[in-house]
Structure 1
Amino acid sequence: MRMFTAIPIREAVADELHRWVQEHRPSLPFRKWTHPQDYHLTVQFLGEVTEDRLEELHIALKSVQVQPISLALNGGGIFGQTSSPRVLYGSVTGDRDGLKALHASVLESTEPLGFLPEARPYSPHITLARNYSADAKLPFPPGLLESMPSGASWLADRFVLMRTHMHSSPMYETVYEYSSPS
């Protein structure tokens, strides 16, 4: 099973992102668009996890202390070349220290099980689309990022363990949820 931990995006916030996507999607030749039910902030990508290791992973993640994190949309950006980006994403602002602390706690809980952090720095974002078409006649319009949603806020009071179902839409399934104390 291909798995990762993530912070879910509240439905109202996902709806705002989806409205922007629907408006601009016809003019943006990305090959793969994220289903709005799949919008999330990745905490740690875990990769392939066998069924027999799922329970020990769940136990390790239950040890993570979840504190509420205040977040808000903050425009967007791209990863990759400006002319042909690999990823279009929504940016977040707010309690970035809280995000980093959750990320560090999740890494600390999974490392003894052999799950290693990625080599690149942690960069929380909401992936909206992937793989701008190299066949596109026009480069990605960078000014378009200025119109991406900003301000919609939510309190992230949980994170989840998700499973990927490749070639499905939506493709992510919540397996376990870990919440802040009431």
Structure 2
Amino acid sequence: MRLFVALPVRGAAADELSEWVHTQRPRLPFRKWVHAQDYHITLQFLGELEEARLGELRHALEGVRVNEMSLRLNGGGTFGPSVAPRVLWSDIAGDLAELQELHRGVVHATQPLGFIPEERRYTAHITLARSYGEGAAPFPRELLAEMPSGAGWTADRIVLMRTRMHESPMYEIIGEYGLQKP
């Protein structure tokens, strides 16, 4: 199983992202768009795991103790070349210190199981699309100013997600772990 740990994006924030994507998608030749039900903030990519080890992973995630947090959309950006970005993403604002603490807590909980944290700095975001079309007109950077901003949600749980390649929606929640009330 190919797994990762994430915060799901719900409510008005997910709705606003979905509406913006629906409006802009015909103008933006990205090869892969994320299904609205798959919007999330990745906390840690785990990779392949044998099903026999799922119990110990679930137990480790149950031990993550971080308070729930308020998050909101905050515009967006791209990764990769400005004319043909690899990724289009939505930015996050709100309780970012708590979000960083949650990321560290998940990494700390999974490291004894052999999951290695990424070396690059953690950058919380919501991926919307990948792989801008080769040979297409340059990505219209002015659209970034129109990305949703302000819609929020309470992040009250982390989820263990399984990737189902070539399906849409692509991610399946196989575990949910509540965050603490402040």
Q: TM-score range by the shorter chain?
A: over 0.9
Matched, 1:93 2:93: yes
Please say if residues 66 and 157 of structure 1, whose CA atoms lie closer than 8 Å, have aligned partners that are also in contact: no
Matched, 1:43 2:13: no
Unaligned 5+ residue runs, structure 2? none
Normalized against structure 1, the TM-score is what?
0.97
Moved over 6 A (4+): none
2:55 corresponds to which residue? 55
Unaligned 5+ residue runs, structure 1? none
Please say if residues 30 and 129 of structure 2, whose CA atoms lie closer than 8 Å, have aligned partners that are also in contact: yes
1:25 corresponds to which residue? 25
Q: CA deviation at 1:119?
A: 1.4
Q: Distance in 1 between matches of 2:37 and 2:23?
A: 18
Segment drifting more, 6-15 vs 50-59: 6-15
Q: For residues 59-70 of structure 1, what are the structure 2 equivalents within 5 Å?
A: 59-70=59-70
Q: CA deviation at 1:181?
A: 3.6
Q: Deviations over 1:20-79 (max 9, x none)?
A: 011111110000000000000000000001101100000011000131111000001000
Q: Distance in 2 between matches of 1:180 and 1:59?
A: 15
Q: What SS class does the counterpart of residue 86 from structure 2 fall into?
A: strand
Q: Deviations over 1:79-138 (max 9, x none)?
A: 0000110000111101110010000000000000000111111011010000001121x1
Please say if residues 11 and 153 of structure 2, whose CA atoms lie closer than 8 Å, have aligned partners that are also in contact: no
Q: Distance in 1 between matches of 2:142 and 2:78?
A: 12
Please say if residues 31 and 133 of structure 2, whose CA atoms lie closer than 8 Å, have aligned partners that are also in contact: yes
Q: Which amino acid aligns with 1:126?
A: I
Q: What SS class does the counterpart of residue 122 from structure 1 fall into?
A: coil
Q: For residues 1-182 of structure 1, what are the structure 2 equivalents within 5 Å?
A: 1-136=1-136, 138-181=137-180
Q: Distance in 2 between matches of 1:139 and 1:63?
A: 46
The Cα RMSD (Å) is 0.8
Q: Number of aligned residue pairs: give it.
A: 181
Please say if residues 12 and 152 of structure 2, whose CA atoms lie closer than 8 Å, have aligned partners that are also in contact: no
Normalized against structure 2, the TM-score is what?
0.97
Please say if residues 66 and 178 of structure 1, whose CA atoms lie closer than 8 Å, have aligned partners that are also in contact: no
Q: Which amino acid aligns with 1:174?
A: I
